[in-house]
Amino acid sequence: MNNLENIIKAINGSNDFVITSHCSPDGDNIGSSLGVYYSLKKLGKNVVYVLDDTIPLNLRFLTKDVNIYNSEDMFNKDYVLIALDCGDKSRLCCKEHIVKNCSKFISIDHHASNDAYGDLNYIDIVASSTCELVYNLLTEMTKELDIDIIDEKIATCLYTGLVTDTGNFSYSNTNPSSFLMAYHLAKVGASRDEIIQNIYQNNSVNYYKLLGEALNTLQIIEKKVSCITLSLDMLKNNNIDFNDVDGITTYTRDIEDVEVGLLFKQKGPNEIKVSFRSKNYVNVSKIAQKFSGGGHIRAAGCTINDTLENAKNMVIKEVLNHI
């Protein structure tokens, strides 16, 4: 299934590229996309970054110099499309014509639910992050082309995904190879202070007000399951964007005795995004897949088109079957 060699060949043999990823962007999604984006630019290629969603505030330090296109403004043809960190073709954050107009489709990803939808795929579900796969790819290309591809800027992008997807090197997906990568990126000059300050130390006061309200909704079910609920009104009243609250998910898991933590976020009256986290043994990717979602063993998500109440009932019932 994996074809790193052919992916490198396809990259070397092409001049036009489009980069995309999944919606509800996160550090790994943006870090890996920009890591590839800047690398291809450095190699003199034409690259367009397409993403039909808003970038979370705490990640805008990475995207401030990049022109991110909306699908509707992109009508190029015959490019190599590279999808990063996207576990499912249906989760791609671009319109259909972006996929239809490409001459070759490459998927680089670490989600267990990825069914190798690309023409060429580099999938490793044990990898800490898609950024780690991009790091491997760029390391191979550096050897082949004899050009030092990873500079400070690219290192900063890749370090961001490594830090966010491993929860600051604390989750079980943190491998020995992750530390080697961190070592190399730090040596090259990744802006570690900038990353940590922007991502973890720059929350608005309104965010804390929302967090307070969110924590007040905390429910513990049979000691092992916890859930926090964020309604549309709570987001609106505190003037916080839907894409800026992912960090709240960790609170659901970090409670004594809790195995599965759930965050229910209301995007519309009948559109509920559910984030799953587990601590030791429950495979939440499997549970999310029952609701047409997916992800990793310890972190997954899905969207349910129903009321908040119904979504909570259905998901909690299913989770209790796995406890």
Stretch that binds Mn ion, among 81-89, 138-146, 174-182, 263-271 (CB under 5 A): 81-89
Tell me how far, at minimum, the Cβ of 84 lies from Mn ion, in Å: 9
The answer to whether 182 and 159 have CB atoms below 8 angstroms apart is yes
The smaller minimum CB distance to Mn ion, of residues 28 and 259, is found at 28
The dihedral sign for the CA sequence 78, 84, 87, 90 = negative
Chain residue whose CB lies nearest Mn ion: 28
- One residue of 81, 82, 160, 165 binding Mn ion per CB under 5 A: 165
Least distance to Mn ion, CB of residue 182, Å: 16
For residue 91, give the nearest of 23, 33, 30 by alpha carbon: 23
Q: How far is the CB of 277 from Mn ion (least distance, A)?
A: 14
Given the rule CB under 5 A, which of 136-144, 163-171, 257-265, 310-318 is the region that contacts Mn ion? Answer: 163-171
Least distance in Å: CB of 190 to Mn ion? 18
User: Considering only 67-75, 80-88, 148-156, 226-234, which stretch makes contact with Mn ion by CB under 5 A?
Assistant: 80-88
Closer residue to Mn ion in complex, CB, 26/244: 26
Residues β-bridged to residue 268: 271
Which one of residues 8, 22, 27, 28 is an interface residue with Mn ion (CB under 5 A)?
28
259 binds Mn ion (CB under 5 A): no
Closest distance of CB 11 from Mn ion, Å: 21
Angle subtended at Cα 292 by Cα 71 and Cα 214, rounded to the nearest 5 degrees: 85
CB of 323 to Mn ion, least distance (A): 26
Binding region for Mn ion (CB under 5 A) out of 56-64, 79-87, 133-141, 200-208: 79-87
Cα angle, residue 51 at apex, residues 39 and 135 outer, rounded to 5°: 30
Please count the residues of this chain forming the interface with Mn ion, following the rule CB under 5 A.
Answer: 4
The stretch among 68-76, 114-122, 165-173, 286-294 that binds Mn ion (CB under 5 A) is 165-173
Do the beta carbons of residue 221 and residue 256 sit within 8 Å?
no
| 88 makes contact with Mn ion (CB under 5 A) | no
Half-sphere exposure of 48 (CA within 13 A, CB side): 21
CB 87 within 8 A of CB 111: yes
Least distance CB 111 / Mn ion (angstroms): 7
Residues in region 201-230 near Mn ion by CB under 5 A: none
Please give the Cα distance from 58 to 181 (Å, whole number): 23
Any contact of residue 85 with Mn ion (CB under 5 A)? Answer: yes
State the residues that interact with Mn ion by CB under 5 A: 28, 85, 130, 165
